[in-house]
Amino acid sequence: MQDTKRERLPERHELKYFINRGDMIALGHRLGGVLHPDPHADEKGEYFIRSLYFDDAYDMAFYDKVSGNQNRDKYRIRIYNLSDEAIFLERKRKLGDLIQKSSTRISRKLCDQLVRGSCNKLDLVDNALLNDLFREMRVSLLRPKVIVDYTRETFIHPVENVRVTLDKNLRTGLLSRNLFSPDVMTVSPLDDGREILEVKYDSYLPDFISAMLWDVPAERSAISKYVLCRRFEEKDF
């Protein structure tokens, strides 16, 4: 397991848009001509992401997002292509208009423990992120809430560490916690067939990328996949 020190994490900009499928395909072709594909992608330039999001006893991560709280945290376990070869615990922290992300690789054994909602012996781990999670599990009763699935196509550019992601076929696992199962029953939380475009960068977005995105008929929105994927629960939006 990797150790995570209390270093200052980079703060990044993150823009999110709803986009229809046809426009996303066209944008993908354009981006592919000038940006680099993600080296971890398959022959189609894609990979499958499954995340299991956590929330506390009062669903504060959910309601902080819905109410527009500008400073909030979300914890999740993330895997790729349903494999347990690389499992990550992540915390996404919103600080006003900026985003910080902490990540540490964890073992399958520890992952299974966290999915069960057990924080036993986490206080003995020399890892800052895990210690923070342990505290939230003990004090705020943080527990797994919902599985979020989608397929991602990523384009990168080294200047300003730009990542443009096309997230397709968003699905919610409803009440399942079976993180590694290919048989989890999922449904789409979006009724109109829209997909999600995300743009992440450090300080500024290079002009030629900004110009490409400007021509795309996409709707900027404060999208939260976590909130969308809990839409079938009896919650007030």
Q: What is the pLDDT of residues 19-37, one digit of tens each?
A: 999 999 999 999 999 999 9
Average pLDDT of adjacent 10-residue blocks, the chain of 237 residues = 55 95 95 93 94 96 91 96 97 93 96 91 82 93 97 96 97 93 94 92 95 91 94 68
Residue 147 lies in a domain: yes
Residue 217 resides in a domain:
yes
Q: Is residue 56 part of a domain?
A: yes
User: What single letter denotes the amino acid at residue 27?
Assistant: L
C-alpha–C-alpha distance, residues 61 and 221, integer Å:
18
Domain around 178: 12-228
Distance separating alpha carbons of residues 178 and 230, to the nearest angstrom = 16
- Strand runs labelled E in the chain: 12-19, 36-37, 46-55, 71-80, 87-95, 98-106, 143-157, 162-172, 195-201, 219-220
Residue 79 forms part of a structural domain: yes
CATH number at residue 185: 3.20.100.30
- Looking at residue 171, its pLDDT comes to 96
Asked whether residue 5 is assigned to any structural domain, the reply reads no
Establish if 237 belongs to a structural domain.
no
Q: How many domains does the chain have?
A: 1
Q: Which of 188, 173, 237, 222 is nearest to 18 (CA)?
A: 222
Query: Is 235 within the bounds of a domain?
Result: no
Tens digit of each residue's pLDDT (9 = 90 or more) over 93-116? 999 889 999 999 999 999 999 999
Alpha-carbon distance of 91 to 104, in angstroms, equals 9
Place of tokens 């599985």: 147
Beta-carbon contacts of 131 under 8 Å, excluding residues fewer than 6 positions away, are 122, 123, 125
